[in-house]
Structure 1
Amino acid sequence: MSGAKKKLLVLGGTGFVGSEICRKALLRNCEVVALSRRGQPGAELKGQAWANKVDWRAGSALDPVCVGALVPEVDAVVHSIGILLESRMNSFFSGSKSSGENVTYEQANRDSALIPAREALKSPRTKAFVFVSAKSAPPLLDRYLKAKREVEAELSAYNSEELRSVFLHPGFVFHPSKGYSLPLSSVMSLGESVSSSLKKTAGIEIPGLDAPTSLDLLADAAVVACLSEDVSGVLENQGMQDLVNSLEGV
């Protein structure tokens, strides 16, 4: 890991996951540029001192001109944009403020990553792209997962010396700031235990029932993945924890 101060671009930096990635990056002495459609932190963040240290930018990750102007200025890009549902219900289930209306899985979960990644591939300075993906999804959300896997497939084909890619595979992401997420995380933990038992005893695996992931771990792992030059590929919960621990000397 280089000792030089790094500059990160967080796509979706005002969201539930993205804003915490911004905060964690500042704690690790990084400069942070956050791109989102609204271009400024929400009311819940404006009173927090760290938010004043982020360079908030308004724009779309789907706009090659917009991201093409930002990517060459940074050492790494973190993609935290995404929708869980293509409907108004997305604002409840995803943990973000996005309604999901008039936005497809392909636009939000695939193209908003591939367009910046292709710009990063052309940038001599940008050496890492960290993609917040998902471990699995229920059958009814197959397009949600397919869009994310298409991103991983393309980025995996890149020359890692030109652009190192890391794919974070969390389960359901929980945090005390989202009150409903705590009981849901308990349900997911129980479901994952049942699914694991069925897989061992009967060879039956239930997709979408994965161990939940704390927002704290996910955000920390995203930042450390940017800073750790020897890390690439898929990281699930244990891999994320091991990565963070390795930097802390645990």
Structure 2
Amino acid sequence: MIRLIHSSHSLSRFYMMAVARNWRFLSTDSTKVDEPFKIEEGETVNSPPPPSEKLFVLGGNGFVGSHVCKEALDRGLSVASLSRSGRSSINESWANNVIWHQGNLLSDDSWKEALSGVTSVISCVGGFGSNSYMYKINGTANINAIRAAAKKGVKRFVYISAADFGVVNYLLKGYYEGKRAAETELLTKFPYGGVILRPGFIHGTRRVGSMKIPLGVIGSPLEMVLQYAKPLNQVPLVGPLLTPPVNVTSVAKVAVRAATDPVFPPGIIDVYGILRYSQQKST
């Protein structure tokens, strides 16, 4: 028993001597073999934060545009807007957080400087009038914006277009021809980052001066009924007239998501797609 204890004690001394000897070879300073083993922490590399999203809304003081601005601000985005009148007349707190620019997409080129640093654009520009006027506002103005955004290196461009309404298309020829011309330009200049939303009748509370017109009184019930009647939309002539209305907040929600979500599919999103995306939770 005494021999076993003595043997064990000898092995322990031998082990400690071996460890000390090996540590002397591993150490960069042989005179410091008695210092405790230190673990050096790896250097932390602080990667730069991702660039912030800057959204530029064309026509931000209009019915759809104002809701787009508010939705974008609610999501924490930096928002700027361009319109012919400049600052919005809406007396709500969110409007103070928008950078308002005044400019005309058809004439003055000074508005192009407002695109500097912009990562995505949503165009809500459109209007009614004579056929030539409607083509300019819905077509030419948006085409100018699309080309300027492409040159500035904007990543994504969302265009609020309009659904086909069959016979109505012929009655508003300039309106729809302008819309389709802008769509073609967008798909050419932004094949991977261009999104076209084609809502039908957009309802919600519309401001006309100091008045508020509750379009949802008619639009909401029709939306509830017609969104489940998609097969009827294929009926010749009258089918397109049964396209379900969509709430302006739904359009704004999908537009902002399409402008900021890099995995949002490019291309044309019809009214049923708008309704579907608006019901999904944002990431």
TM-score over 0.5 for the alignment? yes
In the comparison of the two structures, how many residue pairs are matched? 226
3-state SS in 1 of match to 2:79: strand
Is 54-63 or 239-248 further displaced after alignment? 239-248
- Deviation of 1:206 (Å): 3.7
- Contact kept, 8 Å, 1:175 with 1:215, in 2: the verdict is yes
Of 55, 76, 81, 1:8 maps to 55
3-state SS in 2 of match to 1:57: strand
Spell out the pairing of 1:138-217 with structure 2 (5 A cutoff): 138=168, 139-158=170-189, 160-161=191-192, 164-177=193-206, 179=213, 181-185=215-219, 205-217=238-250
Given residue 56 of structure 1, which amino acid in structure 2 is its aligned partner?
W
CA RMSD in angstroms, aligned pairs only: 2.9
- Deviation of 1:183 (Å): 4.3
- Contact kept, 8 Å, 1:78 with 1:131, in 2: the verdict is yes
- Contact kept, 8 Å, 1:175 with 1:181, in 2: the verdict is yes
- Deviation of 1:73 (Å): 2.4
Matched, 1:86 2:114: no
In the other structure, the counterpart of 2:159 is 131
Matched, 1:110 2:144: no
In the other structure, the counterpart of 1:94 is none
In the other structure, the counterpart of 2:13 is none
Given residue 14 of structure 1, which amino acid in structure 2 is its aligned partner?
N
Spell out the pairing of 1:10-49 with structure 2 (5 A cutoff): 10-42=57-89, 45-46=90-91, 48-49=92-93
Matched, 1:77 2:106: no
- Deviation of 1:222 (Å): 0.8
Given residue 142 of structure 2, which amino acid in structure 1 is its aligned partner?
A
- Contact kept, 8 Å, 2:64 with 2:124, in 1: the verdict is yes
For 1:152 and 1:6, locate their aligned partners in 2 and report how far apart those are by CA, in whole Å.
Answer: 24
Is 224-233 or 136-145 further displaced after alignment? 136-145
Structure with higher Rg: it is 2
**Distance 1:187-1:220 versus aligned 2 partners, 3 A rule:** closer
**Distance 1:141-1:207 versus aligned 2 partners, 3 A rule:** farther
Q: Percent identity?
A: 29
For 1:66 and 1:15, locate their aligned partners in 2 and report how far apart those are by CA, in whole Å.
Answer: 21
Given residue 117 of structure 1, which amino acid in structure 2 is its aligned partner?
I
Is 144-153 or 64-73 further displaced after alignment? 64-73
- Contact kept, 8 Å, 1:132 with 1:168, in 2: the verdict is yes
For 1:18 and 1:190, locate their aligned partners in 2 and report how far apart those are by CA, in whole Å.
Answer: 24
- Deviation of 1:111 (Å): 1.2
